[in-house]
Structure 1
């Protein structure tokens, strides 16, 4: 039987993982589109098309580049429909407004994170959003202090799907990648985890389905609330 390494650290994606993607970001996106369009109906349509956002359903198309992209990539998409507007200005607008997004935790976060910490696990967050937004949102949810590491695409480690920010987490908490797990809702998260040599867990609180995540994941769960049972069942891990 294959021996599995104990898990000593868990790194979470933020959007679609800690927070339900649709419930959190659909409302915010429509608000951003309205703000940037200045109420111009044609510009509303153009901005929605640029980020693959369906105005009728008020939700993202699964192929939207914004879903797993960085804050800068989202700004670049929107800028394509706003000729003459300063890209840095759009990026700043997204960062500041994202910090005030209407959060919808995927599960009761404080309870879950405290249970994981009670096992002696190090916990971190790595998002392709900005670190500023991540810290503001985690603080707003009352769980920022539960994390030993918080990084965004702009924290100096790079962005997913590159493994570099995941390896930075392992280095920061002093845990070998083979004893850490990456948890996320997109292939960006899981590809980065595999490249870093970490265990990979997919969750379905984003827009990707199990058939998309499964090839890159050791397991796929409805949400992060299933992680404690996975840790208990994992051969050799702490119970």
Structure 2
């Protein structure tokens, strides 16, 4: 017997490896926002909690769990004279072309889950447009029954609203849904929604960060099928 009838995935750091995708993207977007000015890049990197030398986001970065709008507001502090709306738009447009690195080969993985009768969804604090663009670029958009961003009208994590919207959309009781994510935001939302919670280590959080909020912490999403029937 399986533990669940539906799985709701976070996107960044869960379906896609965070550093291989977003830390690489981060250096390029900081360079573009700063117009290549090293002093401005340093200021922007400080606000983003990004190590320019290592080219990696720190675990405390707002980019990890905040919405695009919140990230834009944060970066605007280092870019006097820039309008937050313009920064947000630039982030959205540049993120569409991020070098996506799936945590596992996604198409066969998702086909295997669907073959078990599982309903599948994605909820991200990115925009819905960005989520659909990334899933489409990875060739897996059609595998999901539900895709939502912070701007889809259900709220943003760590609030439970968007998670419960998935449960309603696929007609499942929340307790029969698994929320899978790489951040405490994901798991706090899952707990608040009354769902099972799986943490994965393809983001920036450690096992120690996730374990208090998770039913289990796994190396990546590839371990979920075995856990479901354990």
CA distance in 2, matches of 1:23, 1:13: 16
- Once the two structures are superposed, the pairs formed by residues 34-113 of structure 1 within 5 Å of their partners are 34-113=31-110
The residue that corresponds to 1:21 in the other structure is 18
Preserved CA contact (<8 Å) 2:3 2:229: no
Q: Is the 8 A contact 1:5 1:178 kept in 2?
A: no
Counterpart check, 1:169 vs 2:166: yes
1:131 aligns with 2:120: no
TM-score (norm 1): 0.95
How far apart are 1:138 and its partner, in Å? 0.3
The CA RMSD measured in Å over matched residues stands at: 1.0
Are 1:193 and 2:190 counterparts? yes
| Corresponding residue to 1:116 among 101, 113, 116 | 113
Alignment coverage as a number of residue pairs: 230
Which stretch has the larger CA shift, 31-40 or 14-23?
Answer: 31-40
The TM-score with structure 2 as length reference comes to: 0.98
* Alignment-derived partner of residue 203 in structure 1: 200
- 1:183 equivalent in alignment to 2:195: no
Spell out, residue by residue over 1:26-58, the C-alpha distance to the aligned partner (whole angstroms, 9 max, x if none). Answer: 111111111111111110100000101001100
Name stretches of at least 5 consecutive residues in structure 2 with no aligned partner: none
Deviation per residue, 1:98-123 (Å, 9 max, x gap)? 11100000001111100100010000
CA shift, 1:77, in A, is 1.2
Instruction: Report the CA distance between 1:6 and its aligned residue.
Output: 3.8
Q: Which residue of 2 aligns with 1:221?
A: 218
- 1:5·1:179 contact (CA, 8 Å) conserved in 2? no
Alpha carbons 2:200, 2:221 under 8 Å: kept: yes
Q: Where in structure 1 do 4 or more consecutive aligned residues deviate above 4 Å?
A: none
Query: 1:54-83 CA deviation, whole Å, 9 max, x = no partner?
Result: 011000111112211111111111111011
